[in-house]
Amino acid sequence: MTPLILLAAEKESAQVTDWAARIGWVVGLGLFVALVYWLMREGWKWRGTLQGDLPELSAAPGDPGPVRLALTGRYHGSTTAGQWLDRIVARGLGTRSRAELSLTDAGLDVVRPGADDFFVPAAALRGARLDKGIAGKVLTEGGLLVITWEHGGRLIDSGFRADHAAEHNEWVETLNDMINKTETEGAR
């Protein structure tokens, strides 16, 4: 029995890992991920350059009047109206963030901590609806409040999700009533 044990003890185990090849693959994969990230970043910057004709966003007036409705939630981005995948990134409109919306007779004030705030004058509001998606965010049917407005001759859809989704219906009704009232008063 002794010769068998000696034969087994003398054999050397094969190397389990080829460290040089493994490190090469990890470095290669890391470089590939970095390249993809860099290309995505350049694409985002290029889209912003192409949309550079969009004028500066309006700031809220000093005294906008009493608040009709208020909402806290998330701003999910803006797209060209009717084209839910054509994201607008110019002027910070592509930056997702928390948001506080206030609707007054003067218009819609969007306060975004960590991103640029903007104001949509009442005359620029075109409509509001419930939808299920906007570039970068898809929810259940009616899970997104989409407000259509005009800026620089371009119609824009902006998507919001309230902390309490039950508030969406009231916003759609109030905004559309306000827009219809403004249009009928302007037609006189």
Model pLDDT for residues 131-161, shown as the tens digit of each residue: 998 888 888 888 899 999 999 899 999 999 9
Confidence at residue 3, expressed as pLDDT on a 0 to 100 scale? 55
User: What band does 11 get if pLDDT is binned at 50, 70 and 90?
Assistant: low
Confidence at residue 140, expressed as pLDDT on a 0 to 100 scale? 80
Confidence at residue 6, expressed as pLDDT on a 0 to 100 scale? 54
Confidence at residue 4, expressed as pLDDT on a 0 to 100 scale? 54
The stretch 83-100 carries a mean pLDDT of 90
User: What band does 186 get if pLDDT is binned at 50, 70 and 90?
Assistant: low
User: What band does 50 get if pLDDT is binned at 50, 70 and 90?
Assistant: confident
The stretch 110-117 carries a mean pLDDT of 91
Q: Model's pTM, two decimal places?
A: 0.78
Longest CA span, the chain: 111
SS3 sequence of the chain: CHHHHHHHHHCCCCCCCCHHHHHHHHHHHHHHHHHHHHHHHHHHHHHHHHCCCCCCCECCCCCCCCCCEEEEEEEEEEEECCCCCCEECHHHCCCCEEEEEEECCCEEEEECCCCCCEEEEHHHEEEEEEECEECCEECCCCCEEEEEEEECCEEEEEEEEECCHHHHHHHHHHHHHHHHHHHHHHHC
